[in-house]
Structures are given as C-alpha cells and as structure tokens.
Amino acid sequence: MKNHVWRPLFVVIGLVVCILTFRMFYIPDDFGAQDRGYTFGFHRLSNEQEWKDYTAKYKGAEYCNECHFEKVDSLSQSQHEMIQCENCHGAAFDHPENPEKLVIDSSRDLCIRCHSELYMPSSGRNDIPGIDPNQHNVGTECSECHNPHNPSLEDM
C-alpha cells in the first residue's frame, strides 16, 4: 500500500491505543463489574458506602403525610397521585426545621413539562391531558385556574 493509506491507519491505531491506555489508568477496576457481570451505568462497588452516607434531599410523600395528611390524601385521590410532593414543593431536606426552604414552583413551565400536547404512540403519554402552550392562557400561571392538588375538569 501507499504511504497515504498507511499514515492515517497508523494515526487511528495510535489514537485507539492512547484511548485504551488512558481508560486503563483512569477508570477504577470495580467500575461496571458486578456480581452479575458487566452492568451499564455509572456505578462503582467501592463508592457504595459514600452513597449510603450521603444525606438524602428528597424524603417522599410518606414524610409529607406525617403533617400534611389532608393534602397528601387529597392528592392521592386526584389525577396527580403519581407525582411526588417534592416535584413541585422542592426537596424536604431541612423541613420542618427550615420551613421557608420549601418554595412552591407554581411556574407554567413546570406544568407544561407534562401537559404540553405531544403525540407518543407507544406510551401512556397520550393519556395525559395536553394543551397547546402557545394558545392556552398564555402569560397566566396554571395554578390561577387549576388546583394542582385536585386538577379535575370542574376547575377549568
């Protein structure tokens, strides 16, 4: 073969060798290797204790139910039952020691993440009532007309 073929080939081979050498020294030995063999994702067996020691920021609806049982009960009977409280109210990390920390996100953008009209033929996404955000009450927050804890059709 001519030199114009060999030179690029050597460059590509050199890059592959450099990448594999870098990977060999940079990636820990226990990354992705588990009892069941190779796993996909970012997981190292040696940092499991780090994650166990990490303070959880989100506490879940069970935690909210201890004091706000009426709201949690109302939400559990509504169309938003699968949505965790902290998705709108923020992480309950310091709550109730610092109740001001929970700020309600009542922005239109939060609602539009799920309620923007999308066509998804192979998922349950079509079952969620959707709107055209460019046509439906532009400039108005959704919570001005709809109760997020019970967004029934009567609220519209």
- Output the pLDDT for position 33: 59
Residue 149 and residue 86 share a domain: yes
Amino acid at residue number 115 = H
- Output the pLDDT for position 153: 46
Q: Is residue 11 in a domain?
A: yes
Cβ neighbours of residue 25 under 8 Å, at least 6 residues apart? none
The whole-angstrom separation of Cα 77 and Cα 89 is 19
Residue 148 and residue 93 share a domain: yes
Q: Is residue 46 in a domain?
A: no
Per-residue pLDDT of the chain (156 residues; tens, 9 = 90+): 677 888 899 999 999 999 999 988 888 777 765 665 555 566 677 777 888 888 778 888 888 888 888 888 888 877 787 888 888 888 887 777 766 667 777 888 888 888 887 776 666 767 777 788 888 888 888 888 888 877 764 444
- Output the pLDDT for position 36: 59
Q: Number of structural domains, the chain?
A: 2
Alpha-helical (H) ranges within the chain are 3-26, 48-53, 61-65, 69-76, 86-89, 108-115
The whole-angstrom separation of Cα 20 and Cα 17 is 5
Q: Is residue 40 in a domain?
A: no
